Amino acid sequence: MRIFRYTLLSLFCIAILACGAATYSPEHGLPLAEPEKSGFSSEGLAKIAPKLQEYIDNGQLPGFLTVVAKNGKIVHFHPQGMRDVDAQKPVEADTIFRIYSMSKPITSVAVMILYDEGKIKLDDPVEKYIPAFMDLKVFNKEQTEMHDAQKKMTVQHLLTHSSGLTYGWGNKPVDKLYGELKIFQKGSGLADMVEKLAKIPLVFEPGERWNYGVSTDVLGYLVEVVSEMPFEQFLQTRIFQPLGMNDTAFSVPKAKVERFAALYRPTEEGGLRRARNVPLATDDLTFFPSGGGGLVSTAADYLRFCQMLLNGGELSGARILKSDTVELIRYPHLQYGKDGAFGLGFHVVTRKDTEKDKRSTGSYSWGGAAATTFWIDPENELVGILMTQLLNNRHGFAGDFERLTYQAMDSSGQSAN
């Protein structure tokens, strides 16, 4: 019965998509297209929703919004489940999500705007813009002693997470220092954050290896210093407003709070519970402008950001980056994982296999702490986005979404196997 219901729903969605631009709404982010005209099987795409619905029916996820766009047009846009389980409010086309670390690619693009304008260079030492980063210290491997840094931390080190900064999530001496100094204290600013970070030894020499951490937050302050405007203002004026990303910000206005999704965690029994002590990020509350994880957005907004990159830095007449700079962003600068590398703010696929249900070599992507994810596949002119709100995710729905998307793609227009 459930499969039958989703077949009817999918046919309804296909009928809407067949109307093309006539049904376009800002809630979708890009024009709509019939799947078969873009090299997709409608039947294949229709398998995505019921597969993800299994996680909802099992009580593992509140809801999803999935989007697939090819050649600049949407072939799949599907909200399902709840944005607030207790209140029985469904996920809708304009639901606002916490995107956490999907903020990092946006911040990285902000840095590269300044690079395009000749205001920064990738090999510039960070201390050139942030004097607090002069005379940095580095911990030894055991974190029992420290010494003067032998190398200068550069802008590129921050962009590739090879700066020696970390997140302070463990129980080592450096992690305790991050906690004691309250790096991300609401009500404080980015200048205060970097002053605190400068007092903490790095976990390795800059450029030595990849390590996830607060590098992108430091980049947010670098943007603030170089542009001579608040970081959030730079994002709004140079990225969000030109691209029409009207719901992307570090806070949610009162008028939009109704659209803001609740946040969840898994229970030990495999179910869901609402995350505690997570206030609504409204204008009434102080917030921290974290370039590494502080933004909220919609699927439509983030789709326009991704399409701008896929287009080589431009969308709807708004030029954000030079095309050569986009290529530099998705170049594999630093080895990361068994099948990829890290570009300038993105994971980049470098494997050379020919599996049809995986992203092509050269695809770039990232995800967020609440299980949001996206990828951009230049070879196939494809963007995929999945939005949900689950911390500490241990389920495989993102892989299911990606696999079914590629299985549904067939340039001949025939149904995928």
Per-residue pLDDT of the chain (417 residues; tens, 9 = 90+): 444 444 444 444 444 443 333 345 667 889 999 999 999 999 999 999 999 999 999 999 999 999 999 999 999 999 999 999 999 999 999 999 999 999 999 999 999 999 999 999 999 999 999 999 999 999 999 999 999 999 999 999 999 999 999 999 889 999 999 999 988 877 788 999 999 999 999 999 999 999 999 999 999 999 999 999 999 999 999 999 999 999 999 999 889 999 999 999 999 888 899 997 665 555 544 467 999 999 999 999 999 999 999 999 999 999 999 999 999 999 999 988 777 899 999 999 997 666 666 899 999 999 999 999 999 999 999 999 999 999 999 999 999 999 999 999 864 344 333
pLDDT for 33: 95
Pairwise CA distance, residues 158 & 34, whole Å = 41
* Residue 389 near residue 97 (C-beta atoms within 8 A): yes
**Residues recorded for the chain:** 417
pLDDT for 336: 82
Pairwise CA distance, residues 311 & 7, whole Å = 33
CB atoms within 10 A of CB 173: 14
The HSE-up count of residue 367 (CA atoms within 13 Å, CB side) is 15
What's this model's pTM, rounded to 2 decimal places? Answer: 0.91
DSSP string spanning 216-255?
Answer: HHHHHHHHHHHHTS-HHHHHIIIIIHHHT-TT-BSSB-GG
Which helix (DSSP H) or strand (DSSP E) does residue 69 occupy? strand 63-70
* Chain center to CA of 54: 25
DSSP string spanning 360-386?
Answer: PTT-EEEE-TTS-EEEEETTTTEEEEE
Which helix (DSSP H) or strand (DSSP E) does residue 105 occupy? helix 103-116
Q: Which of 53, 47, 43, 44 is nearest to 90 (CA)?
A: 53
pLDDT for 270: 84
Pairwise CA distance, residues 254 & 249, whole Å = 13
pLDDT for 8: 42
pLDDT for 353: 61
Domains defined for the chain, CATH in brackets: 2-91+299-331+368-408 (3.40.710.10), 106-228 (3.40.710.10)
pLDDT for 6: 43
pLDDT for 337: 75
